[in-house]
Structure formats: C-alpha cells, structure tokens
Amino acid sequence: MERQRVMERGEKAGVSSSSNGGGEVDVVVEMMDVIEAVGLYVGYRRTQRKECLNLARRLKLLLPLLEEIKEIGNYKLVSSEGLKTSLDNLKKALLGAKKLLKKCSCGSKIYLAMESEAVMSSFHAVYEKLNQALDDLPYDELGISVEVKEQVELTRMQLKRAKKRSDTQDIELAMDLMVVFSKKDDRNADSAILERLAIKLELHAIPDLKAEEIAVRKLVKERGVQNAESMQQINDLLGKFKQIAGVDETIVLDGPFSSKSLQRCRSLLIPHEFLCPITLEIMVDPVIVATGQTYERESIQKWLNSNHRTCPKTGQTLGHLSLASNFALRNLIQEWCEKNNYELPKKDACLGSDGVSAELKEEISSLVQNLSSCEFEVRREAIKKIRMLAKENPDNRILIANYGGIPPLVQLLSYQDPNIQEHTVTALLNLSIDETNKKLVAREGAIPAIVKILQHGTNEARENSAAALFSLSMLDENKVLIGASNGIRPLVHLLQNGTIRGKKDAATALFNLSLNQTNKSRAIKAGIIPALLHLLEEKNLGMIDEALSIFLLLASHPEGRNEIGKLSFIKTLVEIIRNGTPKNKECALSVLLQLGLHNSSIILAALQYGVYEHLVELTKSGTNRAQRKANSILQHMKDGYMQARRRLLLKRSYQANGS
C-alpha cells in the first residue's frame, strides 16, 4: 500500500507545481517523490536493464542535495528568479528520466528490443539534460555543503561517462530478430531462433506473455496507425512465443470487438475459477500442481513436457512434478454445467495422463527400436518417419529423445549410404530445436560426424548439416566444439559454392559461430571474407544484410579489420550506403563506423569515394537507426579533423619556438 502511495505521488509530481503556484520547496519535495517512485520500479526489460539500474542509482545520489535545498526554505528560494528556473529545469530532467525508466519497466519487451538503439539515444538525452540542470544550480548561493557538492560532482562525472559509453550491442539478439522478421526465409530452423528469443526477452512464461500482450495493446493504442508494419511484426512474434509456450491462440489487435473477443464471449459467462489459466477454457480434468494452482491436465502436462519447471501462473519453481486431481473443483464445474445447460468439451479417451496418445507413444517406441534393425529398408523408413515426427511439433521431439532415439541416430550418421545420412542429419536437425536435445546430440558425439557430412554429403545433406550446426551452436559450448571439430572451413566452402538455400544456411551458422572470438580467426583463415564480398556483389542472392552482419562481427577482431579494410571493400560499402535498401544502409553504416573507430584511414578512404553527402542525406531522411549511425560517423569525422588540426598547430608552434 505504501509503495502504491509513493508511486501515485511520483505520478502527480509532473502536474502539481505548475497549477498551484506554491513555493519552490514544493518543487523540491515533488522531485524527491519522483526519485522515490523511480526506486520502486521493478522488472526492467533485459535489453535495457543495466542502463536502467545505473540511472536509478544515480538519481538516488541526488537525494542529499534535494534534502539540503529543502531545508533552506521558501523565503530564500523565491529571492532568485534564476534559481527557480534552475529547479524547474532539474525537475523536467528528472521527470524525463522517470518517464524513460517507466517505459523500460512496463513497455513491450519486443518493441524495446527492436528499438534498442533508439532507447539508448533517449538515455543519452536524459543524461545530457540532467547534467546541464545540475551544472546550472547556484551551489554557493544555496550554501550547499562541501560533501554534497562532491557527491553531485561525482554523479555528473558518471553521467558524462555514461553518455560517451555505448554498451556493446547484443548482435546475436539483433541477428535473431532480423531472421525472424525476414519475410523471405521461414524454415524449420527458425523455431530454434524463436525459442532462444523467447528466453532472451524473458517471454517464455505465461504471466510474462500475458503482461506483454497488455503492453503491446497499449503500444498500438498510443501509436495508432504509425509504424503499422512494425506493430504487426511485434504482434506476429508474440503469437509465435505463445505457441512455443503451449498457448494456442491468435492475438488480434483490431479493438474491443476483435474476432478473438467474439470467439471467447461464451467463456465470459463461465466463472473465472473454472477456467484454465493457460488456455482460458473451462476445465474438464482440473489438477493441482506443487504451488497449489489448478490447471487443465492436458495443458499443464504439455507445459511440463516442454521442459518447463515453473508454475505458469505464479512463476515459482515447482517442488515436484506430480499432478493431483482437483475433485472438489471438478464436481463444482459439473454442477454448474448441469444447472446452466452447458456441455463440457469431450475429452479424447485415447490420450494418456500426460496428454499424449498411447498410440503415438507405441509408434515412437517401435520406430526407435527399428533404428537398430538389420533390415536396411526398415531402418530407412524408421529414420524418415522420425524425421517427419520431429518436424511436426515440440512434444514429439521430447518423446523421441525420452525413448532413446538420439544415440542410434548419431551412430547412423556414419552409415555408408548418402540417403540414410541425409535423412539422419535432418532428423537430428529437427530434434535439436529442443534446447535439451541440443546438449544430448552434442554429448553423443554427433558434431564431428555432421561436419563430415557437410564436407562429403549430398547437396541437401550438406545444407541440412549446416542448419543443424547452426541450431546446435545456440549453446556456447557447442560453438567451441564445432570450431575445434574443423566445422568452419566446410561452412565457408558451402557459403562460396552452395545453392542459395545452402548459402543462407552457411551464413546463419557462420554468424552464430563467429560470436566466439577464436572462431572469428578460424573463419578469416578459412577465407570467409572473399566469400562475403561475393555475396555483396551478387545482389540477386538477396544476402547483403547477412553478409554485412557477419562483417560487423569480424570487424571487432584485429585480423578481421586488417582483411576487411581494403579499398575495394570500402568502395562497396559506400555504394551500398548510396544505393542499398534502408536495411542495407543501416548495416553498411554500422560496419563503416566499427572500422572507422579503429582506423581513421578507413574514414578518409570513404570520404574519397564520396560518402560525406550520403551521410548528410541519411541524417535527414534515413531510418532512425541509419540517422544515428550517420550522425556518429560524421561526429567521428569532426573529432578526427579537430585532433589533426590540433596536432598541426602544435607542430607549427614547436617549429616557431625552435626557430
């Protein structure tokens, strides 16, 4: 309750002083309330969490200053018009900081991840305003103590450093978002990316998904028809996250009378406690989990089968996985149905207690046994069937692994038949979409065998081997293992000589593997840079963004910068900045900035190829990200020019003194 009152005081602080004409002490109290309210914000989004916690901590350091100003009293504060202006400016800066922190605490996680660079720019703007407001305060006139002045000076130094610092972008997250939002490529391996994104954005638990849906609806309402495409992308991605979590429903953002609302209108008549928290449908077989919450048996079993070990409603870790029938609630539901003439949905009699049919279990058990059959045709058909079952849904992947399907499949990778190898590596690709299976596949020694198929298999087998290595490389330990198993060189070869699909599979795998510093060196030695340059030149392949994303990773490695920083590449970059798609331009600007920060001659070469006018144009008409990158490059050019000028003046001064 106290927390709520503080939050409400903080919310009112933005309007009260402007309307009541009270003294400046009221303004100081309001600022203190704002800082106190900010301290109660929780749940900062992962993409901005570090920045939010640092800003909240710095704001708290200002409380002793405000306490001393408050003690001075109105009689002294009103005597200076300049002081009133300074306090108003500080209040505006604090309210700006509070608004930003609230956005990062309650806003859409997907939107904040998509716009992470824009949000970082907002943080920098807040730092600038706070620093300026603190600089304008007349500390001596106010009689502020030496200790507090030192603390304020420390805060200002931290704000200046924070404005200059730019945390390393989560390139893996950015690449995953780019792949997921791509309309051109919707292959099976994307399920692995979706699962990783859900974990990174903390959108894999039911309560988090429900909170995100509310945040997305609010965002759509605030922005109206602006950026309709981005809003639809967010909406679609949230729907995919819900499917992964076992919530089979479509989110429609058309307003209060959406199709989803109409579909659910019947459930509005049903008592809330009769609805399963996961599906929001009336329960037929309610069961109690370790936390005391009740769910429909089939829904919670699917949740548990997907390797979740938390209660969907509370988020608490489950002490055990036993399910106890809630007979009392079942009787109440049946009584209500009889009284209201409501027919309960029919439960499939073939389903077991875990929501999986006995027939499917028997089929998978038989198929796993057939993997070891002496008859070639029986073995081949078993692999093909497991391949299809593993592709169809997450439950099948878990069942196949639980019935011991992974070890014999790994052994079959070495079978001397191209057709068997192709189906086997594809089956393991589909199974590896499950996070636990990634570890099992690697532990069974599959990676060296997959690399061998990548080198010598059929075209489809090589493509699916690359996709399997991409999926397995989601785990950091597997990135190391794939690099040590000589998996980089054949991937580079596929990038150079494969089909379009093969090139795409190789590019996504190489991007993921190049997040490891040692693998960057391996990729450079394997000739990845000429292969990437070819992708930039062959525009009909449509892989410019993928190539530039890998270039951006390699540019953080000294060997990579030496190889990349050739004049021909800089010329190509400038051409992309001039004529590329908006996304192409963003990626090219990012690479140019990364290279230029380490080598000023790169910027000079870009200037010779005419980049300046295009940078200026992009600061006015480019996308938000392109504008930020172009401005950063122009600022770097300006800083470089000023440094060169200072060195020249210093040299002339020495020469003059020497003569």
The whole-angstrom separation of Cα 451 and Cα 318 is 39
In tens, the pLDDT along 352-375 reads: 555 567 788 889 999 999 999 999
Residue 515: is its pLDDT beyond 70?
A: yes
**Structure confidence at residue 469 (pLDDT):** 94
The lowest-confidence range among 98-112, 166-180, 402-416, 591-605 is 166-180
The whole-angstrom separation of Cα 397 and Cα 550 is 31
**Structure confidence at residue 6 (pLDDT):** 42
Q: What is the mean pLDDT of residues 129-146?
A: 85
- Across the chain, mean pLDDT equals 81
**Structure confidence at residue 191 (pLDDT):** 66
Beta strand 324-325 pairing with 294-296:
unpaired
Residue 414 or residue 228, greater confidence: 414
In tens, the pLDDT along 519-541 reads: 999 999 999 999 999 998 887 88
Residue 100: is its pLDDT beyond 50?
A: yes
- Band the pLDDT of 393: cuts 50, 70, 90: confident
- Band the pLDDT of 542: cuts 50, 70, 90: confident
Query: What angle in degrees, to the nearest 10, is found between the helix axes of 600-608 and 567-579?
Result: 60
**Structure confidence at residue 370 (pLDDT):** 93
**Structure confidence at residue 160 (pLDDT):** 83
Task: Pick the closest to residue 18 from 75, 91, 86 (CA basis).
Answer: 91
**Structure confidence at residue 22 (pLDDT):** 45
By the 10 Å C-beta count (0-12 exposed, 13-18 middle, 19+ buried), 358 is classed as exposed
**Structure confidence at residue 655 (pLDDT):** 67
CA atoms within 13 A on the CB side of 555: 27
- Band the pLDDT of 137: cuts 50, 70, 90: confident
Beta strand 324-325 pairing with 286-288:
antiparallel
- Band the pLDDT of 187: cuts 50, 70, 90: very low
Top mean-pLDDT range of 28-37, 158-167, 513-522? 513-522
Helix (H), strand (E), coil (C) string for 277-311:
CCCCCECCCEEECCCCCEEEHHHHHHHHHCCCCEC
**Structure confidence at residue 171 (pLDDT):** 63
The whole-angstrom separation of Cα 156 and Cα 137 is 12
Residue 78 identity: V
The whole-angstrom separation of Cα 225 and Cα 227 is 6
Number of other residues whose CB lies within 10 A of the CB of residue 105: 18
Give the ranges where 165-296 is alpha helix by DSSP (H).
Answer: 171-181, 190-200, 206-223, 228-244, 259-263
**Structure confidence at residue 77 (pLDDT):** 52
**Structure confidence at residue 281 (pLDDT):** 78
- Band the pLDDT of 420: cuts 50, 70, 90: very high
In tens, the pLDDT along 300-330 reads: 887 887 777 888 888 788 888 888 888 889 8
**Structure confidence at residue 640 (pLDDT):** 72
**Structure confidence at residue 509 (pLDDT):** 92
The whole-angstrom separation of Cα 646 and Cα 190 is 52
Helix (H), strand (E), coil (C) string for 493-544:
HHHHHCCHHHHHHHHHHHHHHCCCHHHHHHHHHCCHHHHHHHHHHCHHHCCH
The whole-angstrom separation of Cα 360 and Cα 34 is 59
Percent of the chain with pLDDT over 90: 26
Residue 260: is its pLDDT beyond 60?
A: no
Query: What angle in degrees, to the nearest 10, is found between the helix axes of 517-525 and 476-484?
Result: 30
Q: Answer positive or negative: Cα dihedral of 146, 148, 152, 157.
A: positive
**Structure confidence at residue 257 (pLDDT):** 31
**Structure confidence at residue 267 (pLDDT):** 40
In tens, the pLDDT along 54-75 reads: 899 889 888 888 888 887 654 4
- Residue 586 in contact with residue 623, Cβ under 8 Å? yes
Residue 589: is its pLDDT beyond 50?
A: yes
Q: CB neighbours of 515 closer than 8 A, spacing ≥ 6?
A: 171, 172, 479, 553
Put simply, whether the predicted model's pTM sits higher than 0.85 gets the answer no
Residue 134: is its pLDDT beyond 80?
A: yes
- Band the pLDDT of 207: cuts 50, 70, 90: confident
